[in-house]
Chain A
């Protein structure tokens, strides 16, 4: 039987994977994808808690939908930025983007 704990473990693992991707990937698109993974880890948490702890209301599930919507918008903006910067630098490697330093 799959219980509340399993959901939490799954979301933690997903969050960790996303975190690792954000820090270690050099490809800007991959970093964006990792961010999405982290957001989805949060979504799982929301829904699990909504189901197992506050089952009388659907606020958590509603919130997950909000997050999906915001994530979609964020991806649109993020990809647009990546395209814009790619046109400048002919690269999507984050190591090349260090203009804002000392």
Chain B
């Protein structure tokens, strides 16, 4: 068993190897590229299963090895492995979803000219994400953190022929830069204060700094990383636009794994955040606000992928809120279940988009349930899980979060979370009733996707149904038993909370059914009646416009100032120097009259000057 843990470095290594092989040698053969990529990730999956078995059979053991990577005075960075239950769960989630998405991509991307490079990017993403998960220190995690950002950029901009895809890729990268800047500052502060970046060393060291201003500052800076990567308010703007990438990419990166990296980081560095109640409060409020904010936008969007994107934002907010109220276990549990059902929903949406020749507007779908039964039913399972209908996985994890929020005394956040649960059920079933059961028969030419796409859907649907049981009372909270932190309290489940959240979810579904299926309420009239609010939500609270305005007036103004400085001062100095040289040369050249005797006079004059100065030096030395 120890051997397996010691050799678990191959888990991130294999996808990287696949990336290198595809990129360097076999990109001319698309089918083989896909095969290599899938072989690598499936081997990684097998390894991850073995690692998970080793970890869980030993109990909550921690395995760590490291090799020195960077050695400078005052800064040592290791490359290492830290395998504990948290890592094992993440390894499983990432490899399972990545494998299914890659298999699905064979069908989805089958006629794409960039088939081979698509799989190369998928591999580098998988490798980076797995490397991030097994990191044992902040330095290494930052390296892989940036690598996942890079692969996300490559995959969002995969169809770089489209203007919007290019812009979205840039937006994602630049927005993440803002968060990563704070994250890097936080890491540097940690190195300066504690002299180490290793998680285990730090967890021992932070205790003495508990609740000091410096540690609060550091933890808030570190928090900026997750805020960017997990797309929390106000850095959330990149995630909806990231839907410009191929849909399987949205499923893997922008729903299941990469965006969860921020939540994972909070869990990994929980010992730092947990030291200051202020930071925890910030995290909780930020997460709760993002959850509500994004859910309200999702209520009125018309693009199937955008609805899912805002839903992802909202669910990420849920996880972050769970972290903030101290329910780290619940947050990680929701991360896991969410990874399964949200990637299921995205892949289902991809199946629909694929069948309808890239149609993404839900109002132009409709009647799909007859043509695409597998997609429809798996999608409904995913939506039920997301809405938190018992006994699907989302119910257990969402309930844990609500319970944790309630039990830790954050009543306001609890009410907010329940409201979000209601909105989630509503917007998901609005989508389903309009797109899959709507009267519009645009889906006449639609056909069910090939098996290579539906089988991953079915597997994910099974996971979406059953993955929740590992953290449920039915299995004696196995999940909470392993994924925990010192001093964690597990709250006894409350039947009342379960009932309330289930009722809210069911009423959300009922409302969507009443409005969009039975049309007891005319949504068009409602739209007009709620005019201002509707526009506000539809335009995503004008955050993008606000940022554009900010950039136009402040950033561009600064840029113009810099341009002036560059042109006038910097260029002025350089050009002035050149002009001076030219001017002097132009005038001094008349001393070169070609007469050898003039030159002789210069030589004598120079000699005289030398002698006089030498004499002066001698006399001053004597005097």
Contact = CB atoms under 8 A, between A and B. Distances in A.
**Are A and B co-members of a single complex?**
yes
Contacts of B590: 102
A95 B595 contact: yes
What 6 pairs between A and B have smallest CB-CB spacing? Answer: A101-B594, A98-B594, A102-B589, A100-B594, A101-B593, A22-B600
A23 B597 contact: yes
Given A23-B600, A102-B593, 10 more contacts: A19-B604, A22-B597, A22-B600, A23-B597, A23-B601, A23-B604, A98-B594, A98-B595, A101-B594, A101-B595
Interface string A14-35: 0000010011100000010000
A19 B601 CA distance: 9
29 contacts: A19-B604, A22-B597, A23-B597, A23-B600, A23-B601, A23-B604, A24-B597, A31-B596, A31-B597, A94-B595, A94-B596, A95-B595, A97-B594, A97-B595, A97-B596, A98-B593, A98-B595, A99-B594, A100-B592, A100-B594, A101-B592, A101-B593, A101-B594, A101-B595, A102-B589, A102-B590, A102-B592, A102-B593, A102-B594
Contacts of B592: 100-102
Interface residues of B, number: 11
Interface in A2-52: 19, 22-24, 31
Nearest to A97: B596
Nearest to A99: B594
A100 B597 CA distance: 13
B532 to A, nearest CB: 79
A100 B601 CA distance: 16
A94 B594 CA distance: 10
Nearest to B591: A102
Interface in A57-102: 94-95, 97-102
Interface of A: 19, 22-24, 31, 94-95, 97-102
Interface of B: 589-590, 592-597, 600-601, 604
A10 to B, nearest CB: 20
Contacts of A101: 592-595
Contacts of A31: 596-597
A24 B597 CA distance: 8
A101 to B, nearest CB: 3
B601 to A, nearest CB: 6
A97 B592 CA distance: 13
A94 B596 CA distance: 8
A92 to B, nearest CB: 12
Contacts of B594: 97-102
Contacts of A94: 595-597
Contacts of A23: 597, 600-601, 604
B611 to A, nearest CB: 13
Contacts of B601: 23
A59 B237 CA distance: 89
Contacts of A102: 589-590, 592-594
Contacts of A99: 594
Nearest to B597: A23
A100 B600 CA distance: 15
Contacts of A100: 592, 594
Contacts of A19: 604
Nearest to A19: B604
A96 B5 CA distance: 93
A100 B596 CA distance: 9
Contacts of A24: 597
Contacts of B593: 98, 101-102
Nearest to B585: A102
Contacts of A98: 593-595
A94 B590 CA distance: 18
B615 to A, nearest CB: 16
A97 to B, nearest CB: 7
B122 to A, nearest CB: 69
Contacts of B589: 102
A66 B555 CA distance: 76
A82 to B, nearest CB: 12
